[in-house]
Amino acid sequence: MSNKSKYPIYISLFFVMVIWGFNVIATKLLVTSFMPVTMTALRIFTAGVGVFIILFYLKLIRKPSKKEFLYILICSLFNVVGHHYFLSVGLKGTSASNGGLILGMGPILTTILAIFFLKNKVTLLRFCGVIFGFIGISFIVFQSGEGLQFMSLGDIHVFLSIFLQTISFIMIKKVSSTLDPRLMTGYMLIIGSVFLFIISLIVEPNGIQSMAMASGSYTVWIIFFASAFLATSVGHMTYNYAIGKVGAAESAIFINLNPFFALVGAALFLDEMITFTQVIGFIFIIFGVVLGAGGLEDLLRHQKSKREMIISK
């Protein structure tokens, strides 16, 4: 894939990160009105339905082969069920600083797994981009003032959540040559939501009742459907499509933008303050994205080709 054709995908990834960052605020509001696992299961199911509506108009719906269905099932268990379950459990048992830093390891884990399983070649500049992104996240999460705690069971759960999601990114890339990642997203969301709903019946027996009790709150339901369709349907379709086109490692770099846009959302909707330290962290993240996605390499390569053309003349 040529460098110029990657730019629209990078732009779409940027806007997905804006939506996902704001979705953190939406999720915080939703879990105060609904039981979290039940709400997540129904939100993801709604998102899956939304994906299939979009796929219907794009004429991309088809029955997957047995091999493709196996990938879909595994990714559903890893990306949807495992990631969301361990994340919700883990964040209850660890500090915001520990949780944020562990989640910030996602791009690094994706890059490492892509080297081993996808035979990706990662240059020094791109690896530096991953490190810059991790440093930027550190600036943001340490601003909470909680400090880094020793590893707890919650830390292990959060690590499992990001590790399982990272494995699913690699698998999405591996199967993307035969199965459109957007179609895979729809199947993953529907199947994963069914498993999550079964879990919710066990851990939250009154979950459906909590949803019904909020039936009169129109604002909450608007947030629910906006989160489902924009953040989960469109967001995950776009992100998984990007994985199939530019690779798991390059797409994962953009996840570093999530914490800052979550801060922006908190400032806009919850009247929280953005500090100078957090801005410094965002600057590191921007450098990380530019380096990690190959922007600087593309610029250096373009300048080199121009010099060679001038010399040849």
Residue 143, H or E segment: none
The reported pLDDT for the residue numbered 196 is 92
Whole-number pLDDT of residue 309: 63
Average pLDDT over the chain, rounded to an integer: 81
Supply the pLDDT for residue 130. Answer: 76
pLDDT value at residue 159: 84
Q: How far is CA 157 from CA 86, 95, 224, 241, in A?
A: 5, 12, 26, 28
Through-space distance between the first and last CA atoms of the chain, rounded to whole angstroms: 29
CA of residue 13 relative to chain centroid, distance: 10
pLDDT for the residue numbered 2: 57
User: What is the reported pLDDT for 183?
Assistant: 94
Q: What is the mean pLDDT of each run of 10 residues along the chain (313 residues)?
A: 73 90 80 82 94 93 93 93 82 63 74 77 75 75 57 77 89 90 94 93 85 72 91 92 84 78 77 75 77 63 64 63
| Nearest-angstrom CA–CA distance, 209 and 207 | 5
